[in-house]
Structure 1
Amino acid sequence: MEYPVIFEIESIYYPILAAIGVIVNLTAIVILKRGKCGLSKCITQYLVAMSTADLLLVIFNVILNRINNIYFLFSFLFITPMCALRVVLSLAALDCSVWFTVAFTFDRFVAICCTKLRPRYCTKRTATVVVVIISIVSSLRSITWYFVFVPSVIIDNVPWFCMQTPVYFISPFWAAYEWIDSILTPMLPILLILAFNALTVKNIITANRLRRGLRCEAKGDKQIDQEVENRRKSIILLFALSANFMLLWITYVIHSLNWPVRNFNYTDKNLSDPVYVAQQVGFMLRLLSSCTNTCIYALTQTKFRDELKNGLKYPLNSILKLFK
């Protein structure tokens, strides 16, 4: 049997993504938890939460869903309750990953633009509360999808595989719920990230102009302004994470706007259909975002790179000591 090209690509892509995703996210969590990257406790809390959500996304979506569906066609994970649970866990992890990014963006907006609110909001305690609330809401919202699925077949009184209940395709409730769900993830997050970043940029440009003017009047020199430099580093990290999120989600968003997934039954279609290919590419890019944040930290944060280098050197130095 000849498989479509997109299927062959997925069979190679997802195992590589899983291996890289687990390693880089575990590495990011360990380095960030050490607290030696020169970041505030507030920022560190959000970044650890984002890396944890990305790690869970790799485990639940890439490994237990994508890879399992490609390489293990008949395992206990295909029993209907397990199948539905895999979907719920994948959606919850995805939702957390998206909204943690929004929360981090809003936190940086408050830190840079809202001087009166900053002392009360930009704290580790507030960040922890926000992370917990997002986790609970995302989990509760994802549980609803558990009730969409029914068994595809029953063998020896055991329900196997998952398929949407027929009511799902004709029910106004589910149509409205899916529409609202598509707005909450990712349409609303993208709009919020764009809005917060736009306001942050506007505030930074205005503040930097004022500071440069005051420094020129006071000193008449061109020394480096440490406050401006700190803002520059913070905004580089913020924009890199935000741009990464939006670029990797854009294919999925465009596909969803033009052709809702629920209206296209691909089991009855050619798997080489351009609409199906666009959907799968959107999924692949969307899941790639679970591996790229650590690369962004390494590229934008000098102390994170130093910690990473030290971590890589430690086992090598330990091995060399054994031979001395």
Structure 2
Amino acid sequence: MHGAPDGLLFAIYYPILAAIGVPANLAVIVILSRGRCGLSRCITYYLVSLAATDLLVIITAVILNRIVGIYFPFSVLYVTPVCSVNFVLMIGSRDCSVWATVIFTIDRFVAISCPKLKTRYCTEKVAAVVIGAVCGMSCFKNTFRYFIYEPLYTVGNVPWHCKIKSTFYNSPVWVAYHWIDSISTPCLPFVLILLLNAVTVRQILKAIRTRKRLLVGKQAENLNDTEVNNRRKSIILLFCISGSFILLWLLFVLTFLYVRIKNVRYFSGSNYNESNFNLEESGYMLQILSSCINPFVYAGTQSKFRHELRSGIKFSINFIAKMFKS
């Protein structure tokens, strides 16, 4: 890909992503908040927080950063101080989204593998505290990012756009910050999700085998056993959410390792032929796509969610039809 084709690809890709991601995540927030999907309040808290942080990622990273940058490159949002703030918000919301996935995985691990801890940990109050703590720490950590950017160029004493300062790659303090930042998001989440999922699935499969051995006669042949089906659905939901996260963030992690191991710089500017651009931008596109996937995971794995979604669509269509008639 070169020049114009790349620019055309981005001009099409990001608006489509926003058009899908914003209403999809809003629908998830509304549907799950109503509490009619058969999920516990604890799980609902985590899934709503995941949808809310994904929505923030789409607003800050896709709409305010990419779409505005493509169609309104000289907007006030691209004056360097404002641009720096937007990057802080964008990466802060991204980290919140990543860790929302992690704490949901931890909650399911505790619920399935630690029955003694379940009654104390898997509660609404704990969920609210954990979500608040994770989001607060993610936002605090990224406030330092405001100081790593400098103007790409200056026009009439007005600094425009943001590029990473050269000291970011050379200063021991910034190098340490970058390693800590990248290990905390997404390297550590990668390890935690893979490890916890492996243990959780092992426990679920063990429980399913134990339950089947306890069933006798015709019950042993009953493939519609409620408990077994619920555990299978837990595996599917957990695997789809965390599995999509791993796949869509993998290229981003490889890009970070490539930058540090090869001692090269991140892309900056608008030259589509610049070295490493395709690698970094492809990873970024997949990373943002992960913020649109979960609504489709819920729709594919949760029958009650699909029912509520259909009901909401029918209500909206009927409401709009009545508006036009009146």
What band does the TM-score fall into relative to the shorter chain? Answer: over 0.9
Aligned to 1:69: 69
Whole-Å Cα distance in 2 between the matches of residues 142 and 185 of structure 1? 11
- CA separation of 1:252/1:4 partners in 2, compared to 1, >3 Å: closer, same or farther? farther
Whole-Å Cα distance in 2 between the matches of residues 266 and 195 of structure 1? 33
Task: Report the secondary structure of 1:263's partner residue.
Answer: coil
The Cα offsets for residues 107-156 of structure 1, whole Å up to 9 and x where unpaired, read as 00111111000011111111111100011000000101001123344555
- CA separation of 1:220/1:288 partners in 2, compared to 1, >3 Å: closer, same or farther? closer
Tell whether 2:177 aligns with 1:177: yes
- CA separation of 1:75/1:319 partners in 2, compared to 1, >3 Å: closer, same or farther? closer
Whole-Å Cα distance in 2 between the matches of residues 220 and 305 of structure 1? 30
* Aligned AA (2:126): T
Deviates more, 1:229-238 or 1:134-143: 229-238
Q: Contact (CA 8 Å) 1:6, 1:277: kept in 2 or not?
A: no
Shift of 1:234: 1.7
Whole-Å Cα distance in 2 between the matches of residues 166 and 275 of structure 1? 17
Cα RMSD (Å)? 2.3
5+ residue gaps, structure 1, are none
Aligned to 1:282: 283
Aligned residues: 322
Whole-Å Cα distance in 1 between the matches of residues 320 and 65 of structure 2? 38
Tell whether 2:61 aligns with 1:55: no
Whole-Å Cα distance in 2 between the matches of residues 296 and 269 of structure 1? 35
Shift of 1:304: 0.4
Q: What pairs with 1:1-324 in structure 2 (closer than 5 Å)?
A: 3-155=3-155, 157-216=157-216, 221-223=220-222, 224-260=224-260, 263-264=264-265, 266=267, 271-272=272-273, 275-318=276-319
Q: Contact (CA 8 Å) 2:28, 2:295: kept in 1 or not?
A: yes
5+ residue gaps, structure 2, are none
Shift of 1:264: 2.4
* Aligned AA (1:233): K
The normalised TM-score by structure 2 is: 0.92
Q: Contact (CA 8 Å) 2:169, 2:265: kept in 1 or not?
A: no
Deviates more, 1:167-176 or 1:236-245: 167-176
- CA separation of 1:74/1:120 partners in 2, compared to 1, >3 Å: closer, same or farther? same
Whole-Å Cα distance in 2 between the matches of residues 191 and 265 of structure 1? 24
Percent of counterpart pairs with the same letter?
48
- CA separation of 1:149/1:43 partners in 2, compared to 1, >3 Å: closer, same or farther? same
Whole-Å Cα distance in 2 between the matches of residues 245 and 186 of structure 1? 10
- CA separation of 1:54/1:179 partners in 2, compared to 1, >3 Å: closer, same or farther? same
Deviates more, 1:53-62 or 1:169-178: 169-178
The normalised TM-score by structure 1 is: 0.92
Shift of 1:176: 1.4
